[in-house]
């Protein structure tokens, strides 16, 4: 994730930058509104964090000019102004979120990640275009993120005996982690451990002092996730000891399960059938994918559904191998889905509102619906 931080307070900027970099983000920072607009003209960012109080122009003006330039980069306003009018003004100008200072850093990061995911937008890339899919089961996926930092002793690459190299320890850990799934987990309980980032060193002639491993573990069972955490911690600790390096192991449980509510899921399915026909509506199997929509389903009854993006026929020649899965740099949204998706949402909202009005006529309170 590449972040543009526009913050006048240098102490606050330093704290946010350190927090974001520890989460793997690349951060460019400026305290000038004009400079931020210039940076956005020349570089692509995943998100902008914008303070309203800047030395040259107001943050509101920055948001306005970003949107006038037809730049759709998500903008999160960070403000010490708690007045509702400030929030309404920022959002009406085109900001994607408004967070009042002081704020919890973990919450800020979570909201940023959710906004970036939503801004990318996605449809299921390997399902035939026009098919709507819905999972009516209450299967759970529990998702964690983890960081492992190994600290050894740096040295010249020509004299590794004078240092303690953390890289072999990191490589050994990555291989050993896979045995948690193949040898420790109950075979009928789904689980996956994916190491997605290893970083160590910057130069070819230097044995690095430290190495960092990051990744994710996913399962449908709390007990299995407990087992994965315990075994990974054991493997990391004992492998580090065997190689003579220090190990800092952090295991974070980030996402709750995405659980559809039965009544709302059935209601959405009925609208799907009305929109595309029974033959194009299918149940999809439980997925290890995580969703920030899970938090909404915890707060309100609702249903999570997907729409097929096609099998790659819409993609331009030379645009990489297809069809592409989510998070592939060559993923290409199928614009032909826009009329179908819009039609479905209008019909869903209309049907749900009509149901609520009917319930009101008989003095029966209706439930709020998320989709």
User: What's the rounded Cα separation, in Å, for the pair 76 and 100?
Assistant: 11
**What is the helix (H) or strand (E) element at residue 39, kind and residue range?**
helix 33-42
Contacts of 11 (CB under 8 A, 6+ apart): none
Residue 357: per-residue pLDDT: 66
Number of H helices, E strands in the chain: 10, 14
Instruction: Give me the helices (H) in 121-184, please.
Output: 166-179
Q: Where are the domains of the chain?
A: 2-119, 132-138+259-361, 142-255
**What is the helix (H) or strand (E) element at residue 46, kind and residue range?**
none
User: What's the rounded Cα separation, in Å, for the pair 27 and 38?
Assistant: 16
Residue 147: per-residue pLDDT: 85
Residue 127: per-residue pLDDT: 46
pLDDT of 291 > 60? The answer is: yes
Residue 314: per-residue pLDDT: 66
Residue 283 buriedness (CB in 10 A; 0-12 / 13-18 / 19+): exposed
3-state DSSP call for residue 193? strand
pLDDT of 126 > 90? The answer is: no
Mean pLDDT for 166-177 is: 96
Please give the structure tokens belonging to residue 28. Answer: 């460019």
pLDDT of 113 > 60? The answer is: yes
Residue 76: per-residue pLDDT: 93
User: In Å, how far from its chain's centre is CA 185?
Assistant: 27
Mean pLDDT for 324-332 is: 73
Residue 365: per-residue pLDDT: 44
Q: What is the DSSP string of 262-285?
A: HHHHHHHHHHHHHHH-GGGEEE--
User: In Å, how far from its chain's centre is CA 225?
Assistant: 20
DSSP letter at 160 equals G
CATH topology of domain 2-119: Rossmann fold (3.40.50)
Q: Yes or no: say if 323 and 125 are a contact pair by the CB < 8 Å rule.
A: yes
3-state DSSP call for residue 150? strand
For domain 142-255, the question of CATH label 3.30.70.360 is answered with yes
- Give me the CATH code for the 132-138+259-361 domain, please: 3.40.630.10
Mean pLDDT for 64-86 is: 87
pLDDT band at 142 (very low <50, low <70, confident <90, very high): low
Residue 140: per-residue pLDDT: 46
Mean pLDDT for 193-203 is: 92
Residue 287: per-residue pLDDT: 79
| Residue bearing the bigger pLDDT, 183 or 286 | 183
Q: What rounded mean pLDDT belongs to the chain?
A: 84
Nearest Cα neighbor of 252 from 290, 200, 211 is 290
pLDDT band at 208 (very low <50, low <70, confident <90, very high): very high
Residue 125: per-residue pLDDT: 46
Residue 297 buriedness (CB in 10 A; 0-12 / 13-18 / 19+): buried
3-state DSSP call for residue 216? strand
Nearest Cα neighbor of 290 from 143, 145, 192 is 143
Whether omega for the bond prior to residue 28 falls within 30 degrees of 0, making it cis, is no
* Beta-sheet pairing, 97-100 with 75-79: parallel
3-state DSSP call for residue 229? helix
pLDDT of 129 > 80? The answer is: no
In percent, the amount of the chain with pLDDT more than 70 equals 85
Task: Dihedral sign for Cα 199, 203, 204, 210, please.
Answer: negative
Please give the structure tokens belonging to residue 27. Answer: 């951060």
Mean pLDDT for 296-301 is: 87
pLDDT digits (tens, 9 = 90+) for 234-254: 999 999 999 999 999 999 888
3-state DSSP call for residue 185? coil
pLDDT of 131 > 60? The answer is: no
User: Partners of 5 in the beta sheet?
Assistant: 29, 49
User: What's the rounded Cα separation, in Å, for the pair 1 and 175?
Assistant: 27
Q: Yes or no: say if 247 and 240 are a contact pair by the CB < 8 Å rule.
A: yes
């Amino acid at each position: 994730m590449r972040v543009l931080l526009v913050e006048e307070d240098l102490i606050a900027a330093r704290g946010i930058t350190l927090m974001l970099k520890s989460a793997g983000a690349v951060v460019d920072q400026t305290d000038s509104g004009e400079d931020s607009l210039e940076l956005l003209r020349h570089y692509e960012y995943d998100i902008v964090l914008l303070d309203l109080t800047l030395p040259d122009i107001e943050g509101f003006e920055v948001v306005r000019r970003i949107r006038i330039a037809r730049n759709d980069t998500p903008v999160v306003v960070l403000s010490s102004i708690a007045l509702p009018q400030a929030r309404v003004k920022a959002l009406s100008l085109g900001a994607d979120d408004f967070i009042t200072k002081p704020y919890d850093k973990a919450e800020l990061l979570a909201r940023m990640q959710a906004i970036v995911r939503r801004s990318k937008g996605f449809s299921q890339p390997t399902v035939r275009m026009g098919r709507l899919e819905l999972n009516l089961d209450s299967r759970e996926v529990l998702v964690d993120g983890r960081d492992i930092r190994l600290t050894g002793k740096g040295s010249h690459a020509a004299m590794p005996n004078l240092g303690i190299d953390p890289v072999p320890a990191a490589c050994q850990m990555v291989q050993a982690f896979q045995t948690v799934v193949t040898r420790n987990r109950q075979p009928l309980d789904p689980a996956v451990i994916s190491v997605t980032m290893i970083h160590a060193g910057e130069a070819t002639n230097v044995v690095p002092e430290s190495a960092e491993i990051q990744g994710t573990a996913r399962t449908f069972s709390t007990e299995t996730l407990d087992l994965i955490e315990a075994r990974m911690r054991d493997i990391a600790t004992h492998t580090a000891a065997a190689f003579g390096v220090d190990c800092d192991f952090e295991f974070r449980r980030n996402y709750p399960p995405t659980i559809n509510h039965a009544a709302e899921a059935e209601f959405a399915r009925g609208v799907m059938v009305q929109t595309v026909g029974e033959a194009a509506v299918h149940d999809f199997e439980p997925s290890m994918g995580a969703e920030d929509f899970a938090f909404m389903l915890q707060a309100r009854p609702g249903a999570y559904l997907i729409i097929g993006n096609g099998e790659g026929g819409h993609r331009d020649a030379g645009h990489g191998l297809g069809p592409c899965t989510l998070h592939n740099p060559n993923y290409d949204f199928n614009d032909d889905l826009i009329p179908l998706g819009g039609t479905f949402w209008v019909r869903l909202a209309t049907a749900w509102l009509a149901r609520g009005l009917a319930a009101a006529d008989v003095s029966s309170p209706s439930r709020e619906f998320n989709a």
